[in-house]
Amino acid sequence: MTTLLRRTGFYVTGGALAVLFLLPLLWTLSSSVSGRQASDGAEGWGFANYQRLADYGSGLDTYLINTAVVSLVAVSVTVVTTTLGGYAMARLAFPGRNLLFLVTLAILMVPYSTILVPLYILLGWLGLQNSLVGLGLVLAVLQLPFGLFMMRNSFEALPVELEEAALIDGCTVGGALRRVLLRGVLPGIVTVALFSFLAAWNEFVAPLIFLTDGEKFTLPVALFNLQSGSLGSVDFGALQAGVVVSALPCVAVFLVLQRYYVRGFTSGALKG
């Protein structure tokens, strides 16, 4: 009886939390296809909001492609850099290793908005201002501390004997990393990639500062301009449609990778 009551309490609490978190998204989805704006002046359902969103500015497809390019650059750089860095921090012994790791983590305590101006100047020196690639590199830099922390814990959770066995069998250090260790830290890699993607896809401040060409705007900046409206008018229907379009890729990626995401957070809890 006690077990039944406990399970019932878990299910009721979980269901209530699910409804609480899903309700705003479902309300936004309903608002994007209902009302007069969605049905060209008549009460009912329709997709007129999405049509106006698709025709806004440089076009919805342009903003989606820009956001996808920025996210791809940020995820690629973050995953490669933190995987190699995490391996070095966990497996290689060199002077100042722990100090370097702590200094990297200390970056998390610095509000990232305070380093945007120096990064803007640095991109100017590199010729990457007003560039999607430059913006992706900036967003990757902002994700490096968390990614390095995650990957170091993931590598430390793997038994050292796995790598030693690979080296004895004739693998080089790089071969052991590529053929053996990467499979063991796959949940950590997916977790880092997921966090980097969500941060890059939804980032607003950095694209607003680093991008000056309207045709290179990402989706969050485009939606902000849509929210600002013309002469104080706001197209709430198209804005709700934009929120749905922006949220769907994040929800889809999370649902596909949620198994690895949970395993990635627990992989470093126990060692050996």
Structure tokens belonging to residue 221: 């900046």
Report, as an integer, the average pLDDT of 145-166: 86
- Taking the C-alpha atoms of residue 145 and residue 100, their distance in angstroms, rounded to an integer, is 11
Domains annotated on the chain, with CATH? 58-266 (1.10.3720.10)
**pLDDT band of 47, cuts 50, 70, 90:** confident
| Predicted structure pTM score | 0.84
CA geometry: angle at 204 spanning 200 and 210, to 5°? 90
**Residue 270 — very low, low, confident or very high, per pLDDT cuts 50/70/90?**
very low
Q: Long-range contacts made by residues 205-208, C-beta under 8 angstroms, separation at least 24?
A: 205/113, 205/116, 206/116, 206/135, 206/138, 206/139, 206/142, 207/70, 207/135
Residue-averaged pLDDT of the chain: 83
More confident of the two residues 76 and 55: 76
- Segment 190-248, tens digit of pLDDT: 889 999 999 999 999 999 989 888 889 999 999 888 876 656 667 788 888 888 999 99
74-78, 98-102, 156-160: range with highest mean pLDDT: 74-78
pLDDT digits (tens, 9 = 90+) for 68-93: 999 999 999 999 999 998 888 888 87
Q: In this predicted structure, what is the pLDDT of residue 71? A: 95
Per-residue pLDDT averaged across 240-266, rounded? 79
159: left (phi over 0), alpha (psi -120 to 50) or beta: beta
Q: Which residues of 3-27 are buried (b: 16+ CB within 10 A; e: fewer)?
A: eeeeeeeeeeeeeeeeeeeeeeeee
Residue 38 has pLDDT above 70, yes or no: no
